[in-house]
Structure 1
Amino acid sequence: MNNRELAENIVREMGGKENITQNWHCITRLRFNVADSKKINIEAIKQLDGVMGAQFQSGQFQVIIGSEVANVFQEVDQITHGSISEEAAQPSSSGNVLDKIFDVISGIFTPILAAITGSGLLKGIMAILVWANMLNAEGSTYMILDAISNATFHFLPFLVAFSAANKFKTNPSLAGALAGILMYPQIMTLADAGEVSSVTFLGFLNIPMNNYASSVLPIILGVWLMSYVEKYAKKIVPKSLTIIFVPLLTLLITAPLVLAFIAPLGTFIGTYLEMFFTKLFGIAGPVAGALMGGLMPLIVVTGMHYAFFPGTFASLGKLGYDIMLLPLNLVANLAQAGATLGVLIKTKDTKMKQIAVSAFIPALFGITEPAIYGVTMKLKKPFYASMVGGAVGGAIYGTFVVKTFSFAVPGLLALPTYIEKGTNNFLWAVIGVLASFVVGLIVTLVMPFDTGEEFAVENKESTTTEDQSSIVENKSHKVIAPLTGEIKELATCPDETFASGIVGKGLGVIPAGDFVYAPFDGTVTMTTPTKHAIGLVSNDGVELLIHVGLDTVELNGKGFEYFVKEGDVVARGDKLLSFNRQEITEAGLSLYTPVIVTNTPNFLDVVQAVGEGENVTAGEEEVLIVVS
């Protein structure tokens, strides 16, 4: 499907645009805040062609798209534009406090990362040019480039203000004005001079003179306070006077409170965050580095890395460098790339090779979601190998206190930001990256794991019925044919999402009947409004998706009928749903029906028990063997 169709399907399966309270995106994921998470059909979204995965993390609903995320987001934004009301967008009072914090930080920083990473990369290029004597650090060209690269970081409060205003649902222009107040030249001059530590406002309010350039916490806390002041101002000011007096009251109340209390508190928190991490690495550098480098993939997957952003910017602003988030993310990302290359070399499965190739190159440049979700986490042990590689690189970085001097996407292109004249910082940065990559690669190559190969036809033919029965009886689970029809290998599926195995291993059936039956004893876990698919879990833990036809969601339920509902307990052979083959073919849609074990990674393997082209009868033949 094209990007517009994908966006429409995602929004529909999320409960419609009225259920979306905020939407934005990062490098590979669509990110949403929603009014009611129960309205989201997460399994249906995972099945969409073009979606690599979907999950709830850190108070957000995330849809993993990959390299097309920006284009899909444009379509989503057009669909939802103007439909998000301030009332609908109010944050829920329920939920984990940490999730709310991560959600806020992520929602603020993700939209402005383009400016931050672009400027950071330019600083790295400038460092290379100066190091190679191709750019004079005293010349006018350097001065202009320095202005271009530094402006984002110096005036970071303005970027954060506008992004925070969108997150907190307050007026962006007032948020920008608040950032201007924090960075007012006279205040910054007094702060830099150090001769005046504070001034008095209205004869009783003491306002400290601080330099808030490059800071983030003061303006985040300030805009958060402003969102409440503006909301209550709207309640007390007559609607006919709102445009005049609400901005006036908002600024007059918020600005003095921010200057006197909130901004100094933000500076205090940021300073001590920076001091804590600096002390941590000063006391136990190798241990802290190994721990953070090894755990970084899990931290990124859960979205917890956003919690380190304020400390990172505080460190960059005060010390001029970062020794934690960005360096350790760099070694973790290259370890992920090494593990992905190991899978690419080791696997004999064509589909897995294709996925590994497409994931390996972005991982080298710091975009690891395709590698994590499509390769290493799917196969499990390569993910552990990447954690080992990250721990080795992290230990090196922690031992030699490797620093980065600018914010850039943690990949190979970020290495120039580690150049520091007169030191070995860049050398140790390269050594740590190489160590992470090589260890991730080697551990993946030597560690035994299921590399995704499908059983060869000749192996299937040579396995006796007695042998198969023994496997099933001792350590496997049966999946009986849920439909009558012709068996197809999953790799032949016209839908690449199913054929690639991203959703899970299984097979296809070209139906010769019009009913789907329960292939085992279990429970119905998923139904769809369009009734074209059903999800089940067996009593022994096999999760199965039966998707009748391809793109049959377009029929909007026409010709389909459920005989069960979510939560129903079913026995093998129970009728689950009916469908009209004639209506599917007349609509120009494929009858190819994938039968997928969606929790494939939880098992050693999923084996197709019947050959390509064989005909089966629903409820009789065993079609899949799930090996545990």
Structure 2
Amino acid sequence: MKRDWEATAEGILAAVGGPENISGMTHCATRLRLNLRDDSKCDDAAVKEVDGVVNTVNSAGQYQVLIGTEVPKLYEKFEPLVKGSGAEVSTSASSDEGIVSRIFSAISGVFAPLLPAMAGSGILRGLLILAVQLGLITEGTGTYTILYTLSMSVFYFLPVLLGFSSGKRFGASPYLSALICACLLYPDFIGLMGDAGNGAMSEFFGIPVVLMSYNSTVIPAIIVIWVYSFLYKFLDEHVPETLKLVVLPAVSLIIMVPATMLVIGPLGVYAGEGIAFVVNWLIARSNVLAGILVGGGWSVLVSMGIHWAVNPIMINNIASNGFDYICPATFACNFAVIGCALGVFLKARDQKLKSFAMTGAVTICLSAIIEPTLFGMLVKNKKLFLAQIIGGACGGAFLGLFKVVTTAFVFGSVTTFPAFVSSDPMNFAFAMIGMVISAVVAGVLGYIFTDKDDQLA
């Protein structure tokens, strides 16, 4: 059924108190995220009644309206309605939010537009590895090189994509932001490192420059463009309109590119490596505990809308090491939700509840989107939510015990199983066993905790 997103946008806008009650707005992969000036003016019940709204969450300093994967279509209609009213609204993090909330909001806004590209490339990478192992494609051939290029370019040029996305998020020119990050990948600049690699030294007008490899990095691009956004806004305000076409980009480049190469970039690289090192160090000390915490707790992070903060760590691990231990545990969570939904489907008599549970299970299998099932059924029933957490923790513990990895950053669904294909053939087998454990444990508990007379609330 084709939904009238114009009507949905108008309904949500009216229910949250109108455009004058919105100080900031953005969206992630599944949610419309709003900063409200006065929460008391928002009719939460009315928002939930709007066609197309799955649920609402007020968390991390934001009023989040769960829509699903079609949220960009809603936002396309919603943004003009708000801005067209003349209301002063920001599409970046609100200054009224706490620092933690603003960081989570910024990460969500930067990464959300890039997720389809990374997920699609990750699937292609997994299929290519599988094709090589089956002898269908030989490494070093033209076919392999072309397929490898199209599956890995999104990670190599990730700083450029993040630069563009960060520019839009922080209020700077996305094109100049992308260009600043692209300078870090220029072959001649990379060539200055020679065979020394990260830490090699050069100079800029006599100033020492620590050379780093910026391809596939995450944190440097975000920090660089966040800093640049302040310079851009200053220049945009003070440079005359007649000179902006030339002066603004020229000054932006001459200041930001050397500053990035001299200071911001190396700090960002070391910061990213440091964060990844700490997380991976903890995983190395206890894979099982890490699997339990991520597998069981991922849905809690999703329910609060702050799971995006972990994604850069997984992306950094994939880009730097070619594999990641955290991502498999998120699969355990998703398959626990699937199992729990199937348990409800088998036990409940109410046709609406059975239909909702099965639809949710199929949706996760195909798209890895757990929010509709999470908010529509599990969060409302503490026993079912607990069943899913236990199932995810059990599956995560198994995956951690056998050190299962993914070779691409993807979301947990049946369609993303190729991400488990690696040089170790048992990695895929252990991954499948982990998924089964998550689904079966959560399914059995979901069946036990469901009353035959339960209805879809």
**Structure 1 residues 327 and 442, CA gap change in structure 2 (3 angstroms):** same
**Structure 1 partner of 2:206:** 203
Preserved contact between residue 379 and residue 451 of structure 1 (Cα < 8 Å) = no
**Structure 1 residues 184 and 83, CA gap change in structure 2 (3 angstroms):** farther
Summarize deviations over 1:217-276 as a string: whole Å, max 9, x none: 000000000001112223443344233322222222222222111111111111111111
**Structure 1 partner of 2:330:** 329
The Cα RMSD (Å) is 2.3
| TM-fit CA distance, 1:139 | 2.3
Structure 2 Cα separation of the partners of residues 150 and 85 of structure 1: 42
| TM-fit CA distance, 1:166 | 0.9
Q: Secondary structure at the match of 1:424?
A: helix
1:9 maps onto 2:11 in alignment: yes
**Structure 1 partner of 2:26:** 23
| TM-fit CA distance, 1:431 | 1.1
Q: Secondary structure at the match of 1:138?
A: coil
**Structure 1 residues 100 and 389, CA gap change in structure 2 (3 angstroms):** same
Equivalenced residues, count: 452
Structure 2 Cα separation of the partners of residues 192 and 312 of structure 1: 29
| TM-fit CA distance, 1:24 | 2.9
Structure 2 Cα separation of the partners of residues 423 and 208 of structure 1: 40
Preserved contact between residue 325 and residue 405 of structure 2 (Cα < 8 Å) = yes
Structure 2 Cα separation of the partners of residues 148 and 90 of structure 1: 31
Preserved contact between residue 168 and residue 227 of structure 1 (Cα < 8 Å) = yes
Summarize deviations over 1:350-402 as a string: whole Å, max 9, x none: 11111111111012232111111122222221111111111111111111111
From 252, 260, 263, the counterpart of 1:261: 263
1:104 maps onto 2:106 in alignment: yes
From 279, 282, 290, the counterpart of 2:281: 279
**Structure 1 residues 258 and 68, CA gap change in structure 2 (3 angstroms):** closer
Preserved contact between residue 338 and residue 439 of structure 2 (Cα < 8 Å) = yes
- Counterpart of 2:355, as a letter, is Q
**Structure 1 residues 67 and 321, CA gap change in structure 2 (3 angstroms):** closer
**Structure 1 residues 134 and 314, CA gap change in structure 2 (3 angstroms):** same
- Counterpart of 1:113, as a letter, is L
- Counterpart of 1:327, as a letter, is P
**Structure 2 partner of 1:363:** 364
**Structure 1 residues 84 and 62, CA gap change in structure 2 (3 angstroms):** farther
**Structure 1 partner of 2:179:** 177
Q: Secondary structure at the match of 2:405?
A: coil
Higher normalized strand content (fraction of residues): 1
Q: Secondary structure at the match of 1:322?
A: coil
Report which of the two structures shows the higher radius of gyration computed on alpha carbons.
1
Task: Write out aligned runs for 1:518-597 (5 A).
Answer: none
- Counterpart of 1:268, as a letter, is Y
| TM-fit CA distance, 1:288 | 1.9
RCO comparison, higher one (Cα < 8 Å, 6+): 2
**Structure 2 partner of 1:310:** 312
Task: Write out aligned runs for 1:212-611 (5 A).
Answer: 212-324=214-326, 326-365=327-366, 366-447=368-449, 449-450=450-451, 453=454, 501=456, 504=457
Summarize deviations over 1:307-349 as a string: whole Å, max 9, x none: 112221221121111111x111101100110001000001111
Summarize deviations over 1:545-585 as a string: whole Å, max 9, x none: xxxxxxxxxxxxxxxxxxxxxxxxxxxxxxxxxxxxxxxxx
**Structure 2 partner of 1:55:** 57
- Counterpart of 1:160, as a letter, is L
Structure 1 Cα separation of the partners of residues 272 and 252 of structure 2: 26
**Structure 1 residues 251 and 84, CA gap change in structure 2 (3 angstroms):** farther
Preserved contact between residue 21 and residue 85 of structure 1 (Cα < 8 Å) = no
Which ranges of structure 2 fall in alignment gaps of 5 or more residues?
none
Structure 2 Cα separation of the partners of residues 444 and 90 of structure 1: 40
- After the TM superposition, which of the residue ranges 64-73 and 381-390 deviates more from structure 2? 64-73
Higher normalized helix content (fraction of residues): 2
Which ranges of structure 1 fall in alignment gaps of 5 or more residues?
455-500, 505-628
- After the TM superposition, which of the residue ranges 126-135 and 314-323 deviates more from structure 2? 126-135
Preserved contact between residue 35 and residue 88 of structure 1 (Cα < 8 Å) = no
Structure 1 Cα separation of the partners of residues 156 and 43 of structure 2: 43
- After the TM superposition, which of the residue ranges 372-381 and 396-405 deviates more from structure 2? 372-381
Summarize deviations over 1:253-303 as a string: whole Å, max 9, x none: 222222111111111111111111221111111122112211111011112
TM-score (normalizing by structure 2): 0.92
Identity within the alignment, %: 31
Preserved contact between residue 42 and residue 55 of structure 1 (Cα < 8 Å) = no
Structure 1 Cα separation of the partners of residues 173 and 405 of structure 2: 38
**Structure 1 residues 90 and 398, CA gap change in structure 2 (3 angstroms):** closer
**Structure 2 partner of 1:457:** none
From 157, 162, 174, the counterpart of 2:164: 162
Q: Secondary structure at the match of 1:110?
A: helix
- Counterpart of 2:204, as a letter, is F
- Counterpart of 2:212, as a letter, is N
- Counterpart of 1:322, as a letter, is D
**Structure 2 partner of 1:45:** 47
- Counterpart of 1:72, as a letter, is L
Preserved contact between residue 229 and residue 253 of structure 1 (Cα < 8 Å) = no
**Structure 1 residues 159 and 391, CA gap change in structure 2 (3 angstroms):** same
| TM-fit CA distance, 1:11 | 2.3
Preserved contact between residue 338 and residue 438 of structure 1 (Cα < 8 Å) = yes
Structure 2 Cα separation of the partners of residues 304 and 202 of structure 1: 43
- Counterpart of 1:320, as a letter, is G
